[in-house]
Amino acid sequence: MTVSSPFVLEAASMDSIRLKIRSFISDTFFVDDFEDNASFLKNGTIDSTGMMELVNFIEQSFDFKVADSELVPENLDSLDNLVQFISRKKA
């Protein structure tokens, strides 16, 4: 079976983004269990300096710059938010 729908393609690439970030967070911050929609900062998954490391990782792995004005919780402060943000930037 071939996948031709652009919608499915998009979903697949979003899943791989999600997986990539999740494994970065697990490996870097030593947390295994966090919900996709849980705030990193409020739940203590990532601290303030960790957020900078996360931004560095995203810039390097997905090859774009995060502008100062984009450093907001709506873009960065949960796995869901990050995946949405990266997909928008890559679109």
Partner 1 sequence: MASIAGFCPSTPHSPPLEKASAAPILANMLAAMSHRGSSHVATLLHPADLSSGLPTVALAAGHMGQTPALYVDKTSHMGVAFSGHLHNVDELKPLYGCPPQATTAQLVQRAFAKEGLACVHHFRGAFAFAVCDANQRLWLVRDRIGKCPIFYANGPEGFAFASEIKALFAGKHLTPKLNLNAINQSLRFWGPVLGNSHFEGAFALLPGMALCLDKGNLLLHRYWDINLSQENIRSELREEEALQTLDELFCDAVSKHLKTAPQLGAFLSGGLDSSLVCAVAHHQAGKLPTFSVAFEQARFDESQYQQQVAKAIGTEHQTLLVTDEEIGALLPKAVVQAEHMFLRSAPAPFLALSTWVAQHGIQSVLSGEGADEFFWGYDIYKETILREFWARFPSSSVRPKLFARLYPYLSLSELPAEMLQTFYGIGLENPKAWDFSHQIRWNNSGRIARFLSPAFLHATAHASPEETLRQTLPPSFETLPPMGKAQYLEMRTMLQNYLLPTQGESMLAANAIQGCFPFMDVRVVEFAASLPRRFKLLGLTEKYLLRRYGQRWIPPEVYGRPKFPYRAPIVEALLGKTPPPWVQTLLSKEAFENVGVFDGDKCSKFIARLRTLQKPPSEADAMTLNALATTQLLTWHFILSPSLPSPSPSPLSWL
Which residues lie near partner 1 (CB under 8 A)? 27-31, 39, 41-42, 44, 47-52, 68, 71-73, 76-77
Let me know if 7 is exposed, middle or buried by CB neighbors in 10 A (0-12, 13-18, 19+).
exposed
| Min CB(20)–partner 1 separation in Å | 18
CA-based nearest residue to 18, from 76, 70, 83? 83
Which one, 14 or 51, has the nearer CB to partner 1? 51
Which one, 58 or 76, has the nearer CB to partner 1? 76
| Min CB(11)–partner 1 separation in Å | 28
Distances (CA, A) of 49 to 29, 38, 91: 11, 18, 28
| Min CB(69)–partner 1 separation in Å | 9
